[in-house]
Amino acid sequence: MKGTYLGEFEEVVLLTVAMLEDSGYGISVKQEVEKRTQRSINLSAIHSTLYRLEKKGFLNSKLGETTKVRGGKRKRIFFITPFGVKSLKEAKSLREDIWNSIPTYVLQK
């Protein structure tokens, strides 16, 4: 399973990229994840996760347009691949499966 396994943080990042459609790059992903998880994350962690996800085939990327704000540097925009979508769905359905198998009285505790 190694190589296709989705860690918790990886899953959050992957979902965020999917949510951001065409505007997912280092900074926007970082801000979104920080907003949602309420914790502060170092940019380097986001970068390494994005590149790892790309290497595993969950993400695709291309270089964007030149902008003035970034000292003339282009962004790398990330997109989710069909394989990424499939893995997310699998992860979700796996959880739902387990959720559904929890006896209801346990959840009422």
Partner 1 sequence: MSYKNETPTPPKLALWFLRRFCTPRWIEEIEGDLEEEFLLNLPKYGIKKARRIYFWTVIKSFRPYLLTEKLKSNNNYKQSVMFSNYLKITLRALMKNKVYSFINISGLAIGIAGALLILHYVSFESNYDKFQEDYEDIYRVSLDLFQNGEFVYHSAENYPPLGQSMVNDFPEVVEWAHLYNMGSKNNVVITYEESPGEPVKLKHRRFLYASDGFLSMFSADMIAGDAKTALSEPLTMVISESTAKKYFGDEDPIGKKLRLQDDDYNNENCVVTGVFKDVPANTHLKYDVLISTSTLYNRFEQALTRYRDGWIRKDFYTYVKLQPNASPVTLETKFPGMVEKYMPQLADRNSVHNFHLQPLADIHLNSHLADEAELNGEAEPITFLSIIAIFIVVIAWVNYVNLATSRSLDRAREVGIRKVLGSLRSQLIRQFLFESVTINFLAIVLALGIMLVALPSFYQVSGIPQEVVLWQNQTIWLTLGVIFLVGSFVSGFYPAMVLSSFKPVSTLKGKFRNSSSGVLLRKGLVIFQFATSAALIIGTLTVNKQMSYMRSADLGFDIEQTIVVERAAIADTSSELGRNRQIQLFTDGLRAESGIVAVSTSGIVPGKKIRFKADIRGYHQPQGEVYPLSFIGGDYELIETLGMEIIAGRDFSRDFPSDADTATLVTRGAAKLLGYENPEDILGQTVMMESFRDAAIVIGVVEDYNHESLRVRAEPSLFTLSPFWAEYFLIRVNESSIPQALDIIEQKWNTVFAGNPFDYFFLDEFFNNQYKSEMQFQSMFSVFSILAIVIGCLGLFGLSAFTAMKKTKEIGIRKVLGASVQGVFYMLSKEFIVLIVISNIIAWPIIYYAMNSWLQGFEYRTNIDFLVFAIALVIVMLVALLTISFQTIKSAKLNPVDSLRYE
Q: Which stretch binds partner 1 (CB under 8 A): 2-10, 19-27, 83-91, 93-101?
A: 19-27
CB 60 within 8 A of CB 79: yes
CB 12 within 8 A of CB 37: yes
Site of tokens 């959050």: 12
Residues 57-76 close enough to bind partner 1 by CB under 8 A: 63, 69-71, 73-76
- CA 46, 47, 52, 58 torsion: positive or negative? positive
Dist CA 106 CA 108 (whole Å): 5
Amino acid in position 61:
S
Choosing from 51, 57, 79, 91, the residue that interacts with partner 1 (CB under 8 A) is 51
Interface mask (CB under 8 A) for partner 1, residues 74-93, using x and -?
A: xxx-----------------
Report in angstroms how near the CB of residue 46 gets to partner 1 at its nearest.
9
> Which residues contact partner 1 (rule: CB under 8 A)?
25-27, 30, 42-45, 47-48, 51-52, 55, 63, 69-71, 73-76
